[in-house]
């Protein structure tokens, strides 16, 4: 927790118990959670936690570059703390989101491509994950 507290301080964010627990959750659970998923998990242990606190904290973390928002589906926003350039696969069977390494994102150090200034890059795949494929084959 001390490392997380120092990390928030370096980012210019005053640390609070709720912020630290949300950050700890994101570090431990690299599952691309929604705000509701984070709330459901943490509210069991922290009854004073509100959904508003989750949303406000995630917005602050996003604005400070700690988390990235993923909008693979129109009706949900997911969050991740992984800052290494990568793509995502959303499984159409189980709904899980996986990090995918791809050569297409080797341009991570380039901010200008063909004269265009690049601020962000998002690459999403939709398909069936290897776990669901394995289950299908076992049937």
Give a yes or no: residue 117 inside a domain.
yes
pLDDT at 128 over 60: yes
Range of the domain at 130: 84-138
Q: Tell me, what CATH number does 46's domain have? A: 1.10.10.10
- pLDDT cut 90: percent of the chain above it: 63
Provide the 8-state DSSP code for 70. E
Q: Residue 77 domain-assigned? A: no
Residue pLDDT, tens place only, 60-77: 999 999 999 988 877 889
Buried b (16+ CB within 10 A) or exposed e, 22-58: bbebbeeeeebbbbebbbeebeeeeeebeeebbeebb
* One domain for residues 53 and 88: no
pLDDT one-digit tens code per residue, 10-49: 999 999 999 999 999 999 998 999 999 999 999 999 999 9
13 and 65, same structural domain? Answer: yes
């Amino acid at each position: 927790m001390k490392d997380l507290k120092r990390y928030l301080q370096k980012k210019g964010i005053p640390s609070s118990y709720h912020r630290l627990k949300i950050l700890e959750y994101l570090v431990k659970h690299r599952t691309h959670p929604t705000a509701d998923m984070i709330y459901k998990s943490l509210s069991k242990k922290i009854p004073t936690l509100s959904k508003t606190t989750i949303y406000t904290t995630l917005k602050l973390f996003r604005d400070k570059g700690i988390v990235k928002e993923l909008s693979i589906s129109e009706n949900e926003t997911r969050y991740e703390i992984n800052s290494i350039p990568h793509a995502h696969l959303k499984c159409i069977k189980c709904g899980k989101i996986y990090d995918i390494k791809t050569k297409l994102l080797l341009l991570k150090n380039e901010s200008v491509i063909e004269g265009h200034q690049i601020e962000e890059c998002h690459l999403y795949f939709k398909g069936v994950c290897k776990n669901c494929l394995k289950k299908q084959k076992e049937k």
